[in-house]
Every structure is written in C-alpha cells, then in structure tokens.
Structure 1
C-alpha cells in the first residue's frame, strides 16, 4: 500500500518544522518524515558545551518565540531541543518518526518517496535534511598512516573524553573555535589548534543577529544587481561566544598554521619540526545530505542541485530548504529559516492550485 499526500517534507529538524508551520497556515495537506527517534533534529547530537550564537528571542522559528534559558544569555543545545519539541507539539505538526527516506523519484504527475516504513506518493516534496548527517573530512597527506584517533565535530562530546591526551583540533570556523576553546580550558588536555588561515573572531558584541542581517543584506544586494557586500564573511569567521572569549582572554586559544602532513605518531610542520599527537578532531564542516535525491539526476557543480530560490531547476516539484545561503539567506539557522520556509509554502500552494 502506498500512502499519499499533497506535500511531503523530508526532515523533522528546524527547517522541516518551519516548513510545517507555514504549510499548516496555508491549509495544505502535508506530512513530515523524520529519520530520528525523537524531536530536536541535529541539536540532540551536539557536544555538551554547544551554545547558540544569539539570545533565545533572536533564535526562534516562525510563530513562537524561544523562551530564555535561566542564567544563560546564549541557550545550550538541550534548551533548543526542548524548544523544538514544544514547537512541534504546539502546532500539532504531522511528524512521522523514525522513518528513513531512501529515495525520491518521478512517478508520472507525482513524486514517489521510498522509505524503510513503506512508500509515499506526493505532488510535491520539500527536502530539509540539513548537513549534520554528512560530515566532511579532507584527504590530508599521511592520514592513512596516522595511528592515533581521528574523529569529526559530530563525534565530539566533552574534554573528559580526551583527558591526558595531546589533541589536535583542525578548523577555523565556529565549531573548530568552540571545541578548541572547550579543550583549551581543561588543564587535563594538551591542545593544539590549527587553521588554514589566521582565525578571524568577530567583535565581542556581534552575534547571530548581526550575522542574519548581513546575510540578508547580501542576498538582497545580489538579487537587485548591486555589488556583493560580502555578507557574513566580511565580518569574520568566528562568533566570540563566552567560552571562546574566556579561552582567548586566558591566552590558551592560539591557532597555529596548518601542518604539512600526518605521520604515524603525529604531524609534521612545513619547517620540518614534528609534534606527537594522540587524537585529531576534524572540525572541517559538512556537505548537504542529499543522497535520497540521486534518482532525480539533479546533481550539479559541487554536488548540489541547481536552484532558483529554493526550487530545484531540474524538478519544479522539489524544494530544498535549510542547507545554507544557496537555499535562502541564513537558512541553515533557526532565525534564518523562517523566511525561505514561508516562500516555499507560498510557491507550493501556487503549484498545487
């Protein structure tokens, strides 16, 4: 038996819930399929000290403010999970879980969605699977001979897991800086932080609010044919959240240039010197989790489907939401996904009409 719906949303994290909110307001027939066992999306898998970049009021999905977390200016991941769980329940969003989507393919006038819990037929599909599920680790010279432990941001939890070890953190973005700061403040860990270029911390008074405004202004300028404002990249790479500031001010958070190659017991620098390393944490980002869309044949440069706004150019019944600026300014953030989600719902309603 094949289940049927007008709109099928793949992913029950923040982007999927934002889409569900606007689809509900548009009075459309829809379901949300989520591969996880519980609400909260990727936030339920973050490291213990993970914090938002913005205060709660500026980290909300459409229609419902995130309450402040007592004693915290920037809420932690557990608070976000609680908020997303309440959001889903408050709006009675039709989330089915755990349901893992295997493939989306054309089926005449509809799209067929194959899952591990049976197939669905939909008139249009919104893919909102995010990036957390596809961590990226670069092919570093010598990585195959390194005998220590290698992991990624997705596997990091707390400094106590690395007590007594020499740890190398690779990456000059927010996750790299936050995890490096976490380890730097623990005297039981011997930390080395390396980045491709000198890390650029934003001014202490700049947080996610300014980043969202910068991303939106850049998108507007490009859409209107004006010069590229540089967006978030023009401000810096790292939000100086309190733990990062504390590690920086203590003098323990200092980045070194990238190593030249990995060896059996550590790494070698360009000047020939070496360092013994027990563990490497690659904070080197993610790629969009889009393997379920492979049957549609939409893969373009960089592995991403070409889009006009959020709509796939090669399949007008498909929208991609929440993967980054290419699917809406700041759409990979809580506060930023609301606007493109609203646009998706409007376009889907027009298509179905």
Structure 2
C-alpha cells in the first residue's frame, strides 16, 4: 500500500502554491485535481473575465507571470500561465481525479476518489469555494419562471440579448458581468449597500498592499486614503469604466420577493424580468471532509491553516480564516510557505 507524506486536494492557485514549496523539500507528495487540464476554477469563469491587478501582482510563487498584452491579464492569459507554471516545475499531479470523501484510518488519511483510494500521513485541502456557489434565500424564489444562474455558470452575454436581466451582487464579478450584459440587455443592479468603487488610478496591487498593511497594524489611519480598504472594492477596469460612461453602474437595494414574472419591491410594485444572474459569492467547499467530523457551521476551526481538531490536516485558500488574503493569487503564497513549513516539522517529529 503506497502511503504519501502529503496529498494535496485541488489544483488551483492554492494547491499549486503548496506543491511549489513541497517540491523544495524531500517529502513524497501527490496533488489530486478534478479538472482535465491546468487552471483550476479559472477554467469555469466567464469568458471576458479580467484580473484586477497587473501581471506582476497576479503571479504564483517562484515565477512571475509574463507581462500581459493589456494592463490587466485576461482569463485566457492566466490559465496559459498556470499551465506553463505546472510544466516548469514538473509537479506530481494526477488528473482528472475527483475526491469523494476523506476518512481517517489507523492514523492515515484514506482518500476515496473516482480513480481509486489514496493514503497519506498529512493532507492539504485546497478545493477553495468555486464548487460551492452561494445564492441567498428569497421569498417565493421557486415561483419565478425566468432563468436563474449563478456567476459560476455564466460564460457570456449571448443568452441575454434583448432581455430584461436582474444582476444581484456588488463585488467585482457583479460589476464586470453587469458591464458586459448591459451592452445587449436591459439591466438592473441589486446590491446590499451602495457599491464601493476604487478611484480610476488605484487597482488590486494598491488594494492588496494597503489591506496587508492594515492587517499587520502598520497603516497610519491619520494618513489613510479617503476610500475604505477592502479586498472587495470594485476595481475600475476598462469594461467597468465603459459601463460608468453608459450610466449603468446605478445600483438599488434588494427587492422584497419574487413573483411569477419578476420581483416585487418594498413598495409592492412589481417589475418583470426574464433572468436573474446571482453574483453573490461562494462558500467553502468542505463536503469531502465531512466524514472526519470536524466541519462545524460550514467551516473547520483552524490556527492559521492547520485544523485544530485534526492536526495533520491543513486548509489553504479558503479566505481570511485560513490565512489573510489566502483566496487571492498574490496572497496565497505566504500561507502556502508557512503551511509547508508546519507540515515538514510535523512529519519530522513523527519520524523522530
């Protein structure tokens, strides 16, 4: 029975970052990825998606992303870079391999997949959130006869030409999809609160640096800029600027409930829509870890990335609860490096 020192579940930016630091050790590792090719969840994003930081701020550990044709890299450029990154470092990856569940047997992780069973001494779950899209509960949702899709399933605006479309969600995905769909359809934008747009000359690189300084307590509030510092601020890439010029970045607060042909507002007026696009984010994908009995309130208690109840399990790339900015391309490297250091120390103690 083959037993790996480490198995990584997930071949996106988090999983690859872990693999990068593991390859510098002497540990025997395997990365299991459910995709047919390199790219992780980026393969399922919409066609026109653009990153909101320049290429040098959209790079994984060890090798900078080549300069993109325009200021902000496209989805295709990033996927191409990730594919080249894998080839450059020759990671030990098995795909397509879907992990169904993880159990603990006689001190080892037993990982059941569609291609067989794998065993490891330690485990890194880096499945992120893309497989678990979140749609808020709305009264009479089932009564609506129009189309409803999540941004996870949106590819382009072709299916919405000439229609009336409600776009729900105030982050970068909501703004970018609104900008695209509004060119071919009548749109209305729903956000919980007024969207927060960054100034035109500030993008993800500044946002990440400023947020990091704030997180580390090194930002002088007296000298702080006028806009709030948040990784959820909307970056004014070209398509969003164009939408502003067309005056479509006008958001309204949530409606009361659905009815058969559309939505009902708080003043009881009805408005028909043909479709709703939910740009409402994602939740942690942890279903495969439920047999371990450590998932509580849809999360796993951790200290940094290490599980408190299962100390040979690490979770990387799920958001700030598993390392500050760990769900970002630029930020995950810091948590990956620390995670591999902890794994190496844990296995060293076990051997000794």
TM-score (norm 2): 0.93
- Whether the 8 Å contact between 2:286 and 2:295 is mirrored in structure 1 is no
- Counterpart CA distance in 1 for 2:317 and 2:212 is 14
Partner of 1:8: 7
Partner of 2:113: 115
Q: Secondary structure at the match of 2:300?
A: coil
Task: Give the one of 274, 280, 283 matched to 1:287.
Answer: 283
- Counterpart CA distance in 2 for 1:95 and 1:143 is 41
Task: Give the one of 331, 339, 351 matched to 1:344.
Answer: 339
- Counterpart CA distance in 2 for 1:346 and 1:91 is 19
Unaligned runs of 5+ in 1: 223-228
Residue 154 in 1 paired to residue 152 in 2? yes
Q: Secondary structure at the match of 2:11?
A: coil
- Counterpart CA distance in 1 for 2:152 and 2:39 is 15
Residue 320 in 1 paired to residue 319 in 2? no
- Counterpart CA distance in 1 for 2:61 and 2:340 is 13
Partner of 2:199: 203
Task: Give the one of 297, 321, 331 matched to 2:326.
Answer: 331
- Whether the 8 Å contact between 1:64 and 1:87 is mirrored in structure 2 is yes
- Whether the 8 Å contact between 1:15 and 1:322 is mirrored in structure 2 is yes
Shift of 1:141: 0.9
Q: CA RMSD in A?
A: 1.7
Unaligned runs of 5+ in 2: 219-223
Q: How many residue pairs were aligned?
A: 341
Q: Per the alignment, do residues 309 and 233 of structure 1 end up closer, same or farther by CA in structure 2, a change over 3 Å counting?
A: farther
- Whether the 8 Å contact between 1:109 and 1:123 is mirrored in structure 2 is yes
- Counterpart CA distance in 2 for 1:343 and 1:205 is 33
Partner of 2:302: 307
1:1-353 residue pairs with structure 2 within 5 A? 2-70=1-69, 72-184=70-182, 186=183, 188-221=184-217, 234-235=229-230, 237-300=233-296, 302-353=297-348
Shift of 1:233: 6.0
- Counterpart CA distance in 1 for 2:210 and 2:142 is 40
Q: Deviations over 1:262-295 (max 9, x none)?
A: 1100111111222110000111110011101101
- Counterpart CA distance in 1 for 2:211 and 2:3 is 37
- Whether the 8 Å contact between 2:6 and 2:124 is mirrored in structure 1 is yes
Partner of 2:221: none
Partner of 1:226: none
Shift of 1:175: 0.9
Shift of 1:234: 3.3
Q: Deviations over 1:302-329 (max 9, x none)?
A: 3100000000001000000001111111
Shift of 1:249: 2.4
Shift of 1:96: 0.2
- Whether the 8 Å contact between 2:211 and 2:229 is mirrored in structure 1 is no
Deviating runs (4+, > 4 A) in structure 1? none
Shift of 1:237: 2.7
- Counterpart CA distance in 1 for 2:328 and 2:240 is 20
TM-score (norm 1): 0.93
